[in-house]
């Protein structure tokens, strides 16, 4: 029994030697410790995932220490291959062997991919192969903003618009993100749903839950996925104090949900000015556009 305890302790010590070297990003020392561990316990189930981590660290160290400038990706497929290898091979091994320390240990690997991806243009068919979503993964909000700003017409494209909205929610809060969220709602309601689900903004999630509970689609609206397009207009019926923020949303495709929000912006302005005749006409236009939204607005009047 004492010999078994000794062997187990020796195995633990050798494994810890490998892990300590890995956490210091010392691939060579980790490999030496791994060889010693293999010689003592060739059947240890930790050997394979540890070797995966050592190989990944060695490759990264070689790139970082190279005298020549880091090689940028020139093809989206090459970035995809390395990103998926990190996600599907290295990350599970790190989580298994490093536990809570895995995310911090993996950070340099993501930063390496982001750096090498900065010359790749955004292409919708290669959406994940861009620096911005990888910055979001690292919670590097400023880096994500910078990456999105490098995309031409990003405010007219669902993916980068969603990325920017998510980054701004964390950087500056909900007030300044409202225009982006409104534009996203009109451009891609599904993206808005995803963005709200992934954010930790309690107020935004609470408002969306209230909207989902109360929303009544028009009789001719068959696609429930489009419901969220009405969310920004509904927000003004519940929180008119957001009118200054939502009114900054850039013009979209003049869809009915966008028209409704613009009408509510006008209505709230007319109410402040006491222009009763114009208010009556504007309310009629809102009622004709969406009866449910009109009822939501009138419930507080």
Mean pLDDT in residue range 126-146: 98
Tell whether 112 and 200 lie within a shared domain.
no
- 160, part of any domain: no
Tell whether 96 and 180 lie within a shared domain.
no
Mean pLDDT in residue range 109-121: 95
- 153, part of any domain: no
Tell me the pLDDT of the chain averaged across its residues.
93
> What whole-number distance in Å separates Cα of residue 123 and Cα of residue 27?
35
Tell whether 189 and 280 lie within a shared domain.
yes
Band (201; pLDDT cuts 50, 70, 90): very high
Query: pLDDT per residue over 255-264, tens digit each?
Result: 999 999 999 9
- 107, part of any domain: yes
Tell me what pLDDT residue 1 has.
Answer: 29
- 18, part of any domain: yes
Tell whether 215 and 293 lie within a shared domain.
yes
Instruction: Give the end of a domain, one of 84, 103, 119.
Output: 119
Tell whether 115 and 177 lie within a shared domain.
no
Tell whether 99 and 212 lie within a shared domain.
no
Domain that holds residue 196: 173-301
- 196, part of any domain: yes
Tell me what pLDDT residue 271 has.
Answer: 94
Instruction: Supply the angle between the helices 47-65 and 91-98 in degrees, to the nearest 10.
Output: 120
Q: How many CB atoms lie within 10 A of CB 64?
A: 11
Tell me what pLDDT residue 219 has.
Answer: 65
Tell whether 179 and 114 lie within a shared domain.
no
pLDDT at 8 over 70: no
**pTM score, two decimals?**
0.90
- 232, part of any domain: yes
For the chain, how many structural domains are there in total?
Answer: 2
Residues 6+ apart with CB under 8 A from 283: 267, 294, 297, 298
Tell whether 1 and 103 lie within a shared domain.
yes
Band (222; pLDDT cuts 50, 70, 90): low
Query: pLDDT per residue over 65-106, tens digit each?
Result: 886 777 899 999 999 999 999 999 999 999 999 999 999 999
Tell whether 19 and 110 lie within a shared domain.
yes
Tell whether 185 and 299 lie within a shared domain.
yes
Return the closest-CA partner of residue 182 out of 155, 212, 152, 214: 155
- 255, part of any domain: yes
Residue 221 near residue 293, CB atoms below 8 Å: no
> Higher model confidence: residue 106 or residue 217?
106
Tell whether 192 and 283 lie within a shared domain.
yes
Tell me what pLDDT residue 41 has.
Answer: 87
Tell whether 257 and 188 lie within a shared domain.
yes
Tell me what pLDDT residue 6 has.
Answer: 45
Mean pLDDT in residue range 239-253: 96
> What whole-number distance in Å separates Cα of residue 222 and Cα of residue 292?
16
Tell me what pLDDT residue 5 has.
Answer: 41
pLDDT at 7 over 60: no
pLDDT at 108 over 90: yes
Mean pLDDT in residue range 146-172: 97
Band (3; pLDDT cuts 50, 70, 90): very low
Query: pLDDT per residue over 275-288, tens digit each?
Result: 999 999 999 999 99
Query: pLDDT per residue over 22-75, tens digit each?
Result: 999 999 999 999 999 999 889 899 999 999 999 999 999 998 888 677 789 999
- 136, part of any domain: no
């Amino acid at each position: 029994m004492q010999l078994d305890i000794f062997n187990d302790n020796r195995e633990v010590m050798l494994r810890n030697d490998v892990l300590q070297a890995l956490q210091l990003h010392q691939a060579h020392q980790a490999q030496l410790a791994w060889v010693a561990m293999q010689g003592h316990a060739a059947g240890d189930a930790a050997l394979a995932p540890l070797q995966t981590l050592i190989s990944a660290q060695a490759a990264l160290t070689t790139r970082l220490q190279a005298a020549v400038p880091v090689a940028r990706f020139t093809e989206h497929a090459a970035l995809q291959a390395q990103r998926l290898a990190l996600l599907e091979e290295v990350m599970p091994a790190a989580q298994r062997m490093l536990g809570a320390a895995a995310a911090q240990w993996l950070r340099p690997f993501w930063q390496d991919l982001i750096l090498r991806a900065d010359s790749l243009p955004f292409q919708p068919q290669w959406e994940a192969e861009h620096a911005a979503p990888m910055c979001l993964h690292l919670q590097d909000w400023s880096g994500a903003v910078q990456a999105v700003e490098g995309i031409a017409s990003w405010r007219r494209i669902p993916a980068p618009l969603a990325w920017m909205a998510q980054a701004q929610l964390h950087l500056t809060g909900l007030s300044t993100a409202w225009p982006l969220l409104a534009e996203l709602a009109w451009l891609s309601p599904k993206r808005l749903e995803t963005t709200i689900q992934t954010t930790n903004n309690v107020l935004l999630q609470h408002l969306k839950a209230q909207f989902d509970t109360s929303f009544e689609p028009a009789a001719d609206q068959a696609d429930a996925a489009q419901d969220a397009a009405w969310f920004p207009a509904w927000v003004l019926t519940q929180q008119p104090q957001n009118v200054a923020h939502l009114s900054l949303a850039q013009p979209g495709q003049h869809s009915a949900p966008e028209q409704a929000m613009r009408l509510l912006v006008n209505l709230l302005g007319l109410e402040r000015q006491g222009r009763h005749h114009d208010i009556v006409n504007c309310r009629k236009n809102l009622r004709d556009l969406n009866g449910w939204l009109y009822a939501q607005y009138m419930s507080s009047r």
